Amino acid sequence: MGAYIVRRILYGALILAGVNLATFFLFFTVNTPDDMARLNLGGKRVTQQAIEKWKAERGYDKPLYLNERRQGVERFTDTIFWERSVSLYQFDFGRADAESAGSIGDEVATRMWVSIQLALPLFVLQVFASTAFALLLVMLRHTRLDFWGVVACVLMLSISSLFYIIVGQYLFSRVMKLAPISGYAPGLDALKFLALPIALSLVARLGGEARLYRAMLLEEAGKDYVRTARAKGLPEWRVLARHVLPNALIPIITSAGAYLPYVFLGSLVFESFFGLPGLGAYVIEAIGKQDFAVVRTMVFVGAVLYIASFVLIDIAYTWADPRVRLE
């Protein structure tokens, strides 16, 4: 397994390098440093002197790839590409482009914990709730309860998450006064601000996840070894818990593991609507301010998290099914 993990990490490093190069190329092909300065300074009626000052403050006054005014290694290191792209591998994110913004690394370190407080409980509850609901539907298959359960899943996955947010804020915040409509407070006070977005996000994702898990469990429930277990007189709940679920864990792990990056990156929509100062809201703010430094950083961090998540998913396969060998 060790050689496999090393090989996957090397593949991931190549993918990360490609993503980083593509992102840098797209940003600085579509928008020159002068264009970025004009966007951040407020439009076309900006003097060239103000543009040059903005570029000098943020290091955009240097050549893109090769600095011919320098000698030796500095020909490559004293460039925009090195300082804004290669430095990301050292997790040196630099300064944001917006006038009032500071260090991107400090913002990421602070906001990441807010996103984790929202997404980690949601991730755990989502896996357990979706799996339990899917197991219940499989146990009640070919009954009216199974039929209406599937109808409920289709309805839930067909409705936009924005609908859940708007209706949930109106009912539980404005009408019932059970939770704040938006905002955030540190410490234990965060619970009252996070309870509503976690609950609404859970309901918004439950339909799609439960329906997917139900299909996976039904496929496993029709196999010969399951029919043999039933023929031996085992109760249905025990057949599902001891035989069907363990053998259906691999696709469930794949589906659930794909959500892991959001545990750190946060939810763009829910954080914005509920006023939570997490990474998702940070990205939305950066897009609105045309802050390309923040957007590039979050693309890089997202790529790192996705690569790490799928390596962990592969390792989890060996735990879920001892027959899987990573060679």
Q: Which tokens is 16 given?
A: 């990360």
Q: How far is CA 103 from CA 98, 256, 294, in A?
A: 11, 33, 10
pLDDT of 86 reads 80
**Of the candidates 298, 108, 276, the residue with the CA atom closest to the CA atom of residue 200:** 276
pLDDT of 150 reads 92
Can you tell me the distance from the alpha carbon of 225 to that of 188, in angstroms, rounded to the nearest whole number?
A: 49
Q: Residues 279, 298: contact at Cβ < 8 Å?
A: yes
pLDDT of 147 reads 93
> What domains can you pick out in the chain, each with its CATH number?
2-90 (no CATH), 104-320 (1.10.3720.10)
pLDDT of 311 reads 83
pLDDT of 269 reads 81
pLDDT of 154 reads 92
3 state SS for the chain: CHHHHHHHHHHHHHHHHHHHHHHHHHHHHHCCHHHHHHHHHCCCCCCHHHHHHHHHHHCCCCCCCCCCCCCCCHHHHCCHHHHHCHHHHHCCCCECCCCCCCEHHHHHHHHHHHHHHHHHHHHHHHHHHHHHHHHHHHHCCCCHHHHHHHHHHHHHHHCCHHHHHHHHHHHHHHHCCCCCCCCCCCHHHHHHHHHHHHHHHHHHHHHHHHHHHHHHHHHHHCCHHHHHHHHCCCCHHHHHHHHHHHHCHHHHHHHHHCCHHHHHHCCHHHHHHCCCCCHHHHHHHHHHCCCHHHHHHHHHHHHHHHHHHHHHHHHHHHHHCCCCCCC
Amino acid at 20: N
**Of the candidates 310, 298, 292, the residue with the CA atom closest to the CA atom of residue 268:** 298
Can you tell me the distance from the alpha carbon of 56 to that of 240, in angstroms, rounded to the nearest whole number?
A: 65
Residue ranges of the chain whose pLDDT lies below 70:
43-44, 99-101, 263-264, 266, 323-327
Share of the chain above pLDDT 70, in %: 95
- What is the separation of C-alpha 21 from the centre of its chain, rounded to a whole number of angstroms? 21
Q: Residues 192, 179: contact at Cβ < 8 Å?
A: yes
pLDDT of 244 reads 86
pLDDT of 225 reads 85
Q: Residues 52, 62: contact at Cβ < 8 Å?
A: no
Q: Which residues contact 69 (CB under 8 A, 6 or more apart)?
A: none
Can you tell me the distance from the alpha carbon of 36 to that of 223, in angstroms, rounded to the nearest whole number?
A: 59
pLDDT of 100 reads 58
Q: Residues 314, 8: contact at Cβ < 8 Å?
A: yes
pLDDT of 96 reads 78
pLDDT of 108 reads 84
